[in-house]
Structure 1
Amino acid sequence: MFENGHPDGASSGLSILLVDDNRHVAESLGMAMQLAGHRLAHAEGPEAALSLLASQRFDVILLDLNYSPGKTDGAEGMALLTRLHAEDSAGRIVVITAHSGIRIAVAAMRAGAGDFVMKPWRNADLIATLERVARQTDPASTPAPVTMTDRPARLIGESDAIARVRSLIARIGPTSAGVVVSGPSGSGRSLVAAALHAASPHAAEPLTIVDLRDAASWPRIAAAHGALLLRHPDRLGEVEQGRLRQLLPDAARCIAIADRPAEIAPALARRIATVEIAVPPLAARGDDVLLLARHFLRLAADRYGRSGVRFSPSAEAALRVADWPDEVRGLAAAIERAVLLGEGDTIHTGDLVATPPPAPLPAPAVRFDLDESERAMIEAALREHRHNVSHAAAALGLSRGALYRRMARHGL
């Protein structure tokens, strides 16, 4: 009725995110919110909450402060509150605390919460509090940021590498400095550019996007207001870069995406590339691959009506070691394909491997490209099933004989 923020027949009211590990609380509140004309999405902890916040917008967040069994000090919730407020200082948050937790509630208010409610509560009082806090974000007075998609510009990941990117966005975003975003194609450069725009003084104004490889898009440059996103200035010749510099409106904030920032001429770089933000490759982000994979799994499961689907332990082990040539974009595509083609409620290792099309002649180059990933996935499946070849073969979607042949090829 209310899971994922889409209750039956709801077309108005508040969109509320509840972050609470207690499903009974979520079910009870879901029915109360639906009767009040509001929509409730539920996240059981910080990882699920950040995933939801990266895929849709909420008017207000109702945040419990403890998620792990035995935890009562509120540290988990305070850490999430601090993160949410740092990423979106205009976000409206109401914290949940126990009757004796007034000290924690006061600390939460100082950290950015708009209000707090104490357990146990009356639903009518809770709803009134949420409505009052949400009204403080009236679009008429505080316009929502304009991004390149309808999704919020939030970066998923906890690695040091992506934390440095978030830190630079927080420091540079509110300024008018020109920024060039570099890094591998598919690593999330457009999302970083959108996050910069969302953090800027021009966030409420449209972001004009110009692919500089397309001559037909150049007339949009002079007419831009607020902010410009320039794709591939490094691919322009010296004359074209000079022409671009002359066309840029004086008041426009420029964000560029480039493969080779060093190819941008110094005169143009002073205007559009005062600071470089290098998006790290997925291989440098450690366990972020699992957080991203679960995020993409939730999105695909929602899109294709496969609620409850999960990764098997062997699939998660394979995700950690697999090579993703198209970076985060390639990972997202693989997860979506696995959701579409997988059977049952579990995504297995074999579901994550694209089967190469049949070829009339042997294609050793294809085997070479997949060699390391295939070996890693076979090893992960064997470990998961304690070297039971029959079970590992079933998890990989292979026959027992086919798995033996691949094991022999890899020296396993």
Structure 2
Amino acid sequence: MNLKHASILVIDDDQDVLTAVRLLLKTEAATVVTEKNPENLRWLLSKQSFDLIMLDMNFNSSVNTGNEGLYWLKKIKEFGSDAAVIMITAYGDIELAVRSLKEGAADFMVKPWHNERLISTIKETLKNKGNNQPKSAIENSDSIIGTELLGNAEVMQDIFHKINKIAPTDANILILGENGTGKDLIAKAMHQLSLRANKPFIKVDVGALTETLFESELFGHKKGAFTDAREDRAGRFEAANGGTLFLDEIGNISLQQQAKLLTVLQNRQVTRLGTNQPVPVDIRLICATNVPLSELANENRFRKDLIYRINTVEITVPPLRKRQEDIVILAKHFSKIYASKYLKPSLVLGASAIEKLKQYHYPGNVRELQYTIERAVIMADGDELTGADLIFSPIESTGSPAEEQDELNLSAIEKNAILRVIEKHNGNITKAAKELGLTRTALYRRLSKYDI
């Protein structure tokens, strides 16, 4: 259906949103009706037929459950309307918005939005109206597939939905997940689908930066600012200006580094070492860490005000063991890539290989699977990969009962050692970490692990 001939109903308790949408669409659509109170839905639908309804996820109404949008979505269906429904959501309601797609919504928009993106979404929704077989998240994400970012598991479908909807905004993203789950691929996909796609994508492993290099690498320096500063140099923030800055392993930076980073994010400007001249920067920030959010929230290890700054939207990437249905898909993908790379004939996964892949627990996640398939392709003699060709990394522990018992014993010894050293230094974490041969960050991890 053409937008020019469409009748649209917008329901939101924010008058500013209603006014903005009405002004935007009044020259684009045939009819635009706005309403603040969703309890008037039945009356509105009885008076007029609508082609599309834009529905807010939360209202200050008598139905105060925190997911009012889902309630009224169901009511629209009960009232007999065949209108396509686009949910309007804030960043914090992304999970509910994804759920709304499963319950009949055609799409959702994250506010604040770009007007061009909103109109494009409405046109696409009207075009597909009446089609009961919408594309899957993967089919909708063709522009980001072609990397190892693959998966049919429901949890991955939800992630693909989030990527498609959040990427066009400038919301700051925090990606959580174990090592090897593909956090960097999600960051790249976010950039590729954003309005900054033609601008730089700069990745920094901030967890690997020393205290002395942190400011220089991120904020830049002037010639002569320190011994090895032989020329003026822009930092990563300036390099990413207009584009996306991806800070990996942010959970491993010190409290001092966190304070410096927070200042830059709040002021949206950097000052190079050796100067007093601030430089404005315009970046979209994506961060990633393998440290659980509950540990990050510990005030002794990570500033809560920084968490709020970087965590407008959170995406948690599941470990491979929790998306079993994707193992064979990924294995076939990697075998195709490496067969081409190493000039091998087309390789198929034999029954014994598939069975072995399904039985393994993948402590190294997708990265471990990738390297396992690469080794198997290199060593394979025929055109079929068998179970015998698959050799999993000896680096990862298999976790036998005997080993688990040894680990428990070693954990008790480590905990007692930490307690003794901390007591010796009267609770001074810096001195305790130095005596134990650990960084402060590593010691804080162990304190959290042992509930000390």
TM-score by length of 2: 0.46
- Residues 281-300 of structure 1 correspond to what in structure 2 (within 5 A)? 281-300=319-338
Structure 2 match to 1:258: 289
Is residue 2:255 matched to residue 1:238? yes
In 2, distance between residues paired with 1:199 and 1:162?
17
- Percent identity reads 29
In 1, distance between residues paired with 2:402 and 2:370?
18
Check 1:370–1:286 CA distance in 2 against 1; reply closer, same or farther (3 A cut).
farther
Question: Is the 2:249–2:290 Cα contact (8 Å) retained in structure 1?
Answer: yes
- Residues 10-409 of structure 1 correspond to what in structure 2 (within 5 A)? 86-88=140-142, 152=146, 155-212=149-206, 213-214=208-209, 215=213, 217-218=217-218, 219=220, 220-223=235-238, 224-225=240-241, 226-248=243-265, 249=268, 251-260=282-291, 261-262=293-294, 263=296, 264-354=302-392, 368=400
Structure 1 counterpart of 2:382, one-letter code? G
**Stretches of structure 2 lacking an aligned partner (at least 5 in a row):** 1-131, 221-234, 269-280, 297-301, 404-452
User: Aligned-residue CA RMSD in angstroms?
Assistant: 3.0
Question: Is the 1:153–1:192 Cα contact (8 Å) retained in structure 2?
Answer: no
Structure 2 match to 1:27: none
Question: Is the 2:339–2:347 Cα contact (8 Å) retained in structure 1?
Answer: yes
In 1, distance between residues paired with 2:160 and 2:394?
37
Cα shift readout 1:289-339 (whole Å, capped 9, x = no counterpart): 000000000001001111222111111111111122211000000001001
Q: CA deviation at 1:269?
A: 2.1
Cα shift readout 1:194-234 (whole Å, capped 9, x = no counterpart): 11111211111111212213225323244131211011222
Q: CA deviation at 1:83?
A: 5.2
In 2, distance between residues paired with 1:171 and 1:184?
24
Q: CA deviation at 1:369?
A: 9.3
In 1, distance between residues paired with 2:310 and 2:399?
43
Cα shift readout 1:324-370 (whole Å, capped 9, x = no counterpart): 2211000000001001112111111011025969xxxxxxx879499
Structure 1 counterpart of 2:249, one-letter code? H
Q: CA deviation at 1:236?
A: 1.7
3-state SS of paired residue (2:305): helix
Q: CA deviation at 1:266?
A: 2.2
Question: Is the 1:178–1:253 Cα contact (8 Å) retained in structure 2?
Answer: yes
Structure 2 counterpart of 1:340, one-letter code? I
Q: CA deviation at 1:154?
A: 6.4
Structure 2 counterpart of 1:235, one-letter code? N
Structure 1 counterpart of 2:151, one-letter code? G
Question: Is the 1:186–1:330 Cα contact (8 Å) retained in structure 2?
Answer: yes
Structure 2 counterpart of 1:178, one-letter code? N
Check 1:356–1:221 CA distance in 2 against 1; reply closer, same or farther (3 A cut).
closer
In 1, distance between residues paired with 2:398 and 2:381?
26
Structure 2 counterpart of 1:195, one-letter code? A
Check 1:81–1:163 CA distance in 2 against 1; reply closer, same or farther (3 A cut).
closer
3-state SS of paired residue (1:187): coil
Check 1:301–1:251 CA distance in 2 against 1; reply closer, same or farther (3 A cut).
same
Check 1:350–1:369 CA distance in 2 against 1; reply closer, same or farther (3 A cut).
farther
Cα shift readout 1:182-203 (whole Å, capped 9, x = no counterpart): 1110011111111111121111
In 2, distance between residues paired with 1:79 and 1:295?
26
Structure 1 counterpart of 2:308, one-letter code? R
Question: Is the 2:237–2:245 Cα contact (8 Å) retained in structure 1?
Answer: no
3-state SS of paired residue (2:163): helix
Cα shift readout 1:109-131 (whole Å, capped 9, x = no counterpart): xxxxxxxxxxxxxxxxxxxxxxx
Check 1:344–1:370 CA distance in 2 against 1; reply closer, same or farther (3 A cut).
farther
3-state SS of paired residue (1:204): coil
**Stretches of structure 1 lacking an aligned partner (at least 5 in a row):** 1-77, 92-144, 146-150, 358-364, 372-412
Question: Is the 1:233–1:256 Cα contact (8 Å) retained in structure 2?
Answer: yes
Question: Is the 2:250–2:288 Cα contact (8 Å) retained in structure 1?
Answer: yes
In 2, distance between residues paired with 1:369 and 1:334?
25
Runs of at least 4 residues of structure 1 off by over 3 A? 78-85, 151-154, 354-357, 365-371
Structure 2 counterpart of 1:242, one-letter code? A
In 1, distance between residues paired with 2:288 and 2:399?
33
In 1, distance between residues paired with 2:155 and 2:323?
6
In 2, distance between residues paired with 1:274 and 1:203?
20
Question: Is the 1:229–1:254 Cα contact (8 Å) retained in structure 2?
Answer: yes
In 2, distance between residues paired with 1:355 and 1:229?
29
Structure 2 counterpart of 1:345, one-letter code? D
Question: Is the 1:186–1:326 Cα contact (8 Å) retained in structure 2?
Answer: yes
Structure 1 counterpart of 2:217, one-letter code? S
TM-score by length of 1: 0.50
